[in-house]
Structure 1
Amino acid sequence: MFRRFASYIIGAALGVAALSSWAQAPESLLVRLDFSPWGMHGAMHLAQEKGWFTDVGLKVEIQDGTGTINTLQLLAAGKVDVGQVSVGTMAVAKENGLDLISIVGFARTGDLAVMLDEKAGVTSPKDLVGKKIVCFTASPWAPFIQPFLQANGLKKGEVEVVMVAPSAMVSTYASENADGFMSQAPFGQPMVKKTRPANALLLADSGISFPSYGLVSTPSMIESKKEAIKKLVQVQLRAWNYIYDGNIEEAVKAILAQRPNAKLDPDVLRGQLIAYEAFFSSPTQGKAPIGQQFDADWQAAINSMEQTGLIKAGHKPSDYYTNELLKN
């Protein structure tokens, strides 16, 4: 009798332990980044390195990407849960039928630029006539190339824009096989600083406004994994605030530790993180809390994209973003 009772107690205890373990099992999320490792991935890798995802009950897989557009397509197809991408490009993708929404904004000021050799003396888009500029098809720049040229009165053929492989863009410029390249200024300028320093012509200076990097998901994914995605957002806010509170070096080390085989230059990563801090400000609200998005910023972006024909008229800011997941 005693043995049967003891067996019952032990079995019950094991059952409770199993149920407890199951109840506390980490929630899995698949996050896809925009590109191969670079500075803007710092918060994601820092959180992974420090165990901050694990601390809130998340198991996060971080995938490198092959371009913002590709990541957006995978998001819309339900292949990944969250993407870190250019949310301005997300708005264009949404216009083309992808059901997406921005859930947090990091670099809220537009960062796309044409970068050219400092020695070339280029000071305005008009100086691009006769120049060869490289880009790549899945770049956040892709939807804005023609609107940029048109906004500056540049006719077709006056500027040679050549699409190359993403991995070849910077090297093509650095080896002087192109006059310039189209990318994000805080990404590109640190990349070429040691080989061929570049000046930047910001797209925003041509009157085309849109937000830069943030996190994007789909309404259906948010509905099914809301609490897990909310935890991810909260951890990323913590990480970015930590980085820009004097801890950029830790973010650099985290990227190197998380991607040891990527042959990354810590000086470039550091330079990118330093350069991006200014772009974290809101164009209309200034140094607002990291992550928060604003109607005024999005309305300016909507106006620009309507004027350039990238989206149809009639959209409102709430079509593109939500601050719901920022709330504690």
Structure 2
Amino acid sequence: MKRNTGVFRYLTGLLAGAVIGALTIAAPAQAAESLLVRLDFSPWGMHGAMHLAKEKGWFAKEGLNVEIQDGTGTINTLQLLAAGKVDVGQVSLGTMAVAKEHGLDLISIAGFARSGDLAVMTDEKLGIKKPKDLIGKKIVCFTASPWAPFIQPYLKANGIPDGAVNVVMVAPSAMVSTYASGNADGFMSQAPFGQPMVKKARPASALLLADSGISFPSYGLVSTSKVISAKRDAVKKLVQIEVRAWKYIYDGHIDEAVAAILAQRPNAKLDPTVLKGQIEAYRPFFNSPSGKDVPFGVQTDADWAAAIKSMEQTGQIKPGHKPADYYTNSLLAN
């Protein structure tokens, strides 16, 4: 019997395709590795890179399933990190150093806002030019704020007696509104966060903590040795994506970052003008105090040495620490 070679080849091809298809279906897809990231606070401009990477699918493209939680303050996020409840936190690195002094297993894995941004902001109409002008004024803050460990050292460094400034602790959600409504003369927060928030209602001038000789890096990513050991590759991908996201944002794409925050947090009733103002205001703080053109994310011994000196002088940490105790650049791109 003569074989119909055309039909035979056709059927053979179908059979081979079916087998390959069956194998493809049977082979389990590689599961994305999950990371839980907790931010410092409710949504604001400094969260732009994290939300942008999520919105654009950059995490998913690298095989990461990243859950992003809003926070209730840097201190709370650090506590959850140390307790193993989250994998990575985006927080104030100065506050991390203080928490580490109290025995928490924490390490900074990327630094973004590397210049000190904490400030006392007061109504421009009050004409406050120096810290001693704060005497007799009511200033609001909140317990879990990055400011909390540094309030007394700041007042002491400027020769302000105890009780001379009325520092009142309020709920995090009430701090800005208390100031904006006129029920306080000022508030303690990060200058690039706070000034855009109150620009419309009650413009504020700022006294930077760093100008009083208390200096340390600001926002970055923090994890623990346990998480880095268990999920090193995933955390490394997260860090490098975040670095690329910040480069992208400051390369003319701030509006995309704002849009990503709004898309990721649609029920938060956010003002896009404020978000944009915060991201714009943070750009100078991304510069490393120790030198020009230090790549985003990279931390330096010089910056941390200055921070250690400040925190030793103010009693926040004990003498004897070295920069490597607080950070690593090993998860950044080579």
TM-score of the aligned structures, taking structure 2 as reference length: 0.93
**Pair 1:219 & 2:252 matched:** no
Report the residue type matching 1:48 in the other structure.
K
How far off is 1:285 after superposition? 1.3
Aligned length: 320
Match of 2:323 among 317, 320, 326: 317
Cα shift readout 1:178-203 (whole Å, capped 9, x = no counterpart): 00000000000000000000000000
Alignment of 1:260-271 (within 5 A): 260-271=266-277
Match of 2:258 among 252, 259, 266: 252
Gaps in structure 1 of 5+ consecutive residues: 1-6
- Distance in 2, matches of 1:210 and 1:86, equals 9
**Pair 1:131 & 2:137 matched:** yes
Match of 2:154 among 134, 148, 153: 148
- Distance in 2, matches of 1:15 and 1:150, equals 71
- Residues 325/18 of structure 1: CA separation in 2 closer, same or farther (3 Å cut): farther
- Distance in 1, matches of 2:80 and 2:209, equals 27
Q: Percent identity?
A: 76
**Pair 1:181 & 2:179 matched:** no
How far off is 1:94 after superposition? 0.2
Question: What is the root-mean-square deviation in Å for CA atoms of aligned residues?
Answer: 1.6
**Pair 1:96 & 2:102 matched:** yes
Report the residue type matching 1:244 in the other structure.
Y
| 2:205 paired residue number | 199
| 2:4 paired residue number | none
* Greater CA drift, 247-256 or 281-290: 281-290
- Distance in 2, matches of 1:96 and 1:18, equals 51
- Distance in 2, matches of 1:233 and 1:292, equals 11
**Pair 1:77 & 2:86 matched:** no
**Pair 1:293 & 2:299 matched:** yes
Gaps in structure 2 of 5+ consecutive residues: 1-14
Cα shift readout 1:106-165 (whole Å, capped 9, x = no counterpart): 000000000000000000001000000000000000000000000000010100000000
Cα shift readout 1:260-285 (whole Å, capped 9, x = no counterpart): 00000000000000000000000111
How far off is 1:69 after superposition? 0.2
| 1:228 paired residue number | 234
Report the residue type matching 2:262 in the other structure.
L
Match of 1:54 among 50, 54, 60: 60
Report the residue type matching 1:207 in the other structure.
G
Runs of 4+ aligned structure 1 residues displaced above 2 Å come to 9-20
Match of 1:120 among 126, 137, 150: 126
Match of 1:281 among 258, 280, 287: 287
